[in-house]
């Protein structure tokens, strides 16, 4: 029997059956009893595989998402010990490692929940004291920074999970992140009303903070062990390097993450570009992809280099001003009528000197309202590389009113 229990496929099937019992309405106690009879422990990757199998077999993602808190509670005792061991073994308890940063943020989030939001809420519910109400609103405003915690997870960790074929947990977790963001917004909105129903606000705050605490458990006991087993050091380095772009939640920027004994010329964790690619710092294109993308932009662009030579223009379907390929290689001053050359020269001179970074114009022309923008293009050291012209008919944009949230 032990040989069968240790079989990976059998274990996945057994976990899936227990999860299906929960989906079919059996209690957590019944599921936990069945689990304890079958397993002595379970890995987060096994839970992920079982959830993915459920989704593949037609269980709606929303249903898996709805019950993921129950899943976490079911496996909690088994998962916590494994997470602690993996963090220490993988070096993720070192400052600067993205896992260390996530956990540090979680402690800060818990502190705001337990030491600020909940006490202020209870005091306000009991007394109606305006000072307590303000403290609650301030705590909810602090918790709104959780969006940066979730955005780093969604935009830096989830892509690598998907590359390692860990697809179900990111989908489920992202949906719950959205629920938490919405719950916090609802609670903050209700607390900011002039004469709010205190009990309704308290219910909204509890709903939001309960979900936050449940997500902290899932991050630390399901996601983190899973990714520590899967990700390479260079992938963690990539995540750490890009984290500053999004920012941090309730903590300052962590120290730089450094690879131990990293080989020189280590491969880019995002993968090697295809042959013939145009490689850029944030991605790579085939030529036809780049041309297609630039020509699909909802505005026209023209680039003039630092020597005032026209180097490029896009070819969208609805150009504002005509452009022909004979313009390439011409001096930009030769591309304008004599009466307006001094304006062009003045803009370029201001860009080169650093006096200006952009200049805007807008004109009515043949039923269009044309917005013409000029930008100084500089390298990372601030050296002038050229001028970018962006032209767009903004009349349709000016006609926009209200909101559109549904696909037509």
Kindly report, residue by residue over 149-197, the tens digit of the pLDDT. Answer: 999 999 999 989 998 988 888 888 899 999 999 999 999 999 999 889 9
Domains assigned to the chain? 2-74 (no CATH), 85-246 (1.20.120.520), 283-398 (3.30.450.20)
Least confident of 8-12, 14-18, 104-108, 194-198: 8-12
- Say which residues have a Cβ less than 8 Å from residue 165's Cβ, sequence separation at least 6: none
Rounded CA-CA distance 34/17 in Å is: 10
Beta carbons of 392 and 383 less than 8 angstroms apart: no
Q: How confident is the model at residue 2 (pLDDT cuts 50, 70, 90)?
A: very low
**Bigger pLDDT: 179 or 259?**
179
Report how far residue 227's alpha carbon sits from residue 160's, in angstroms, rounded to the nearest whole number: 9
pLDDT at 90 over 60: no
Question: What is residue 340's predicted lDDT score, i.e. its pLDDT?
Answer: 81
The percentage of residues in the chain with a pLDDT greater than 70, rounded to a whole number, is 78
| Total Cβ atoms within 10 A of residue 406 | 5
47: nearest Cα among 60, 35, 58, 57: 35
Cα 52 to Cα 97, 244, 338, 352: the distances in Å are 28, 32, 67, 56
More confident residue, 389 or 262: 389
Cross-strand pairs, 302: 313, 389
Q: What mean pLDDT is predicted for residues 239-255?
A: 94
Distance CA 214, CA 88 (A): 23
Name the band, by pLDDT with cuts 50, 70 and 90, for residue 66.
low
Asked whether residue 266 carries a pLDDT value surpassing 60, the answer given is no
Q: Tokens standing for 72? A: 């976490």
Q: Contact at 8 Å (CB) between 222 and 47? A: yes
**What one-character-per-residue DSSP string does 35-71 give?**
HHHH-S---HHHHHHHHHHHHHTT--HHHHHHTHHHH
Mean pLDDT of the chain: 84
Neighbours of 227 (CB within 10 A): 26
User: Which residue matches tokens 């709805």?
Assistant: 66
């Amino acid at each position: 029997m032990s040989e069968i229990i240790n079989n990976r496929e059998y274990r996945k099937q057994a976990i899936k059956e227990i999860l299906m019992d929960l989906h079919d309405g059996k209690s957590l106690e019944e599921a936990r009893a069945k689990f304890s009879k079958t397993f002595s422990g379970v890995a987060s990757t096994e839970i992920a595989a079982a959830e993915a199998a459920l989704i593949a077999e037609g269980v709606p993602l929303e249903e898996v998402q709805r019950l993921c808190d129950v899943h976490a509670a079911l496996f909690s005792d088994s998962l916590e010990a494994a997470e602690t061991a993996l963090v220490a073994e993988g070096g993720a308890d070192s400052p600067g490692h993205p896992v260390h940063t996530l956990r540090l943020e979680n402690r800060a989030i818990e502190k705001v929940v337990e030491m600020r939001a909940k006490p202020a809420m209870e005091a306000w519910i009991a007394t109606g004291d305006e000072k307590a109400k303000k403290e609650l609103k301030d705590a909810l405003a602090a918790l709104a920074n959780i969006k940066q915690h979730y955005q780093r997870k969604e935009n830096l960790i989830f892509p690598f999970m998907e590359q390692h074929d860990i697809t179900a947990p990111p989908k489920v977790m992202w949906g719950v992140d959205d629920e938490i963001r919405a719950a916090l917004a609802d609670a903050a909105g209700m607390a900011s009303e002039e004469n709010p129903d205190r009990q309704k606000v308290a219910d909204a705050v509890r709903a939001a903070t309960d979900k936050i605490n449940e997500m902290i458990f899932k991050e630390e006991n399901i996601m983190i062990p899973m990714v520590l087993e899967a990700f390479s050091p260079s992938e963690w380095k990539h995540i750490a390097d890009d984290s500053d772009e999004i920012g941090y939640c309730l903590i300052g920027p962590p120290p730089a993450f450094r690879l131990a004994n990293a080989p020189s010329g280590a491969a880019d964790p995002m993968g090697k570009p295809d042959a013939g690619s145009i490689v850029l710092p944030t991605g790579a294109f085939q030529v036809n992809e780049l041309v297609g993308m630039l020509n699909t932009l909802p505005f026209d662009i023209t680039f003039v280099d630092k020597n005032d030579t026209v180097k490029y223009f896009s070819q969208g379907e609805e150009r504002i001003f005509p452009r022909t390929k004979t313009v390439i290689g011409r001096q930009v001053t030769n591309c304008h009528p004599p009466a307006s050359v001094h304006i062009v020269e003045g803009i370029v001179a201001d860009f080169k000197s650093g006096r200006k970074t952009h200049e805007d114009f807008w004109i009515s022309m043949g039923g269009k309202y044309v917005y013409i923008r000029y930008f100084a293009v500089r390298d990372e050291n601030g050296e002038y590389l050229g001028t970018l012209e962006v032209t767009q008919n903004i009349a349709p944009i000016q006609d926009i009113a209200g909101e559109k949230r549904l696909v037509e």
